[in-house]
């Protein structure tokens, strides 16, 4: 963390890119004609938030954010599986 390359504005730029990815996913979630489209969009939004948590761990210097990433990626998988079960149960 003593480096100057990874301080402040560089990470902010990366966070901005992730926010743009989040917005694109959110747009598909609003547009998406099927429930499965919305589930996919939620997946993209969720993982862009998880990746931004990883960047925030670097930005704020506290490694507790890494634990958040670890738990959140597991929970995101469970959420996607639940949404897939929901999509299947709705149609069959």
Partner 1 sequence: MRAVVAAVLMFAGVLVMLIAGIGVLRMPDTLTRSSAATKGTGLGAGMILLGVGIAIGTPNALIKVALAIALQIASAPLAGHLIGRAAYRSGAPLWEGTVIDDYRRFYPYERQRMAWHRDAAEGASSDRG
Please give the residues from 15 up to 54 whose contact with partner 1 meets the rule CB under 8 A.
17-18, 20-25, 27-28, 31, 33-37, 39-41, 43-44, 47-48, 50-51, 54
Q: Rounded to the nearest whole angstrom, what is the least distance from the CB of residue 6 to partner 1 in the complex?
A: 5
**Per-residue DSSP letters for the chain?**
---STTSTHHHHHHHHHHHHHHHHHHHHHHH-SSHHHHHHHHHHHHHHHHHHHHHHHHHH--THHHHHHHHHHHHHHHHHHHHHHHHHHHH-
Query: How far apart are the C-alpha atoms of 7 and 49, rounded to whole Å?
Result: 20
Q: How far is the CB of 77 from partner 1 (least distance, A)?
A: 4
Chain residues in the site for partner 1 (CB under 8 A):
1, 3-6, 10-11, 14, 17-18, 20-25, 27-28, 31, 33-37, 39-41, 43-44, 47-48, 50-51, 54-55, 57-58, 63, 66-67, 69-70, 73-74, 76-77, 80-81, 83-85, 87-88, 90-92
């Amino acid at each position: 963390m003593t480096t100057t390359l990874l301080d402040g504005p560089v990470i902010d730029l990366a966070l901005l890119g992730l926010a743009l990815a989040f917005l694109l996913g959110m747009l598909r979630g609003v547009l998406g004609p099927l429930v499965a489209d919305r589930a996919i969009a939620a997946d993209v939004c969720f993982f862009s938030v998880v990746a931004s948590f990883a960047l925030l761990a670097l930005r704020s210097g506290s490694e507790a954010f890494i634990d958040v990433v670890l738990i959140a990626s597991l929970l995101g998988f469970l959420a996607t599986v639940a949404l897939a079960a929901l999509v299947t149960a709705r149609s069959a």
